[in-house]
Amino acid sequence: MTHKMKSVRWLCLFFAVCFSSVISAHTIKESTAQVILRDGQVAIKIITQEDHLVIALQNNLAWLMGDLPEVMPDDLTASEQKSFIEKALLATISLQVNKQKISLQRADIVSQQKGEMVILLQAKHTVANVTDISVSFSKTLGIVHASFVKPQYQLLKAGESATAHF
């Protein structure tokens, strides 16, 4: 990178820092995430506002700050946009099980209606006794209300009740 390009990038970064609170007020909305831990698998279900996610992924300042690996172009088809979002979330969300980094293997936008987008991420793990799980979400999702679930399965005969211990 030439000296002139570095200077321009640093100048843009300076303005991004100075004005980030003004810009982020328009692009950051709250999202919800449910992290579901099963034997050998972790699923993350994210519900977010589609328009705010798209705006955040098209934000040049977020790219300058290092929050995005690349900026989403404006002229993508619906299919290309879906693919871009899935790829961007796989690249910017990190998962750890027992302090070991686990690669997210799949991202799917499973529903888009009324401006809401439901995204399902999946990963496999080989940890026999999970003691902790850690997730770092993409800044493009804004504030994330996360819940962590470890299902307890029981087979019930007709009329029996179930008991769960926590």
Report, in angstroms and rounded to the nearest whole number, the Rg of the chain calculated over CA atoms.
19
Tens digits of per-residue pLDDT, 37-48?
A: 988 999 999 999
Locate tokens 């790829």: which residue?
A: 87
Among 11-15, 151-155, 159-163, name the one with the lowest average pLDDT.
Answer: 11-15
d(CA 111, CA 10): 39
Confidence grade of residue 23 (pLDDT, cut at 50, 70, 90): very low
Of 95, 93, 118, 94, nearest to 108 (Cα)? Answer: 118
Q: What is the pTM of this model?
A: 0.76
**Checking DSSP bridges between strand 144-149 and strand 31-38, what pairing results, if any?**
parallel
Tens digits of per-residue pLDDT, 91-130?
A: 999 999 999 999 999 999 998 888 899 999 999 999 988 9
Residue 28 has pLDDT above 50, yes or no: no
**Domain residue extents for the chain:** 14-149
Report the percent of the chain where pLDDT is more than 90.
64
pLDDT at 14: 47
Give me the mean pLDDT over the 15-33 stretch: 54
Give the helix/strand (H/E) hosting 42: strand 41-49
Q: Measuring CA to CA, how many Å separate 162 from each of 38, 69, 78, 154?
A: 19, 47, 45, 7
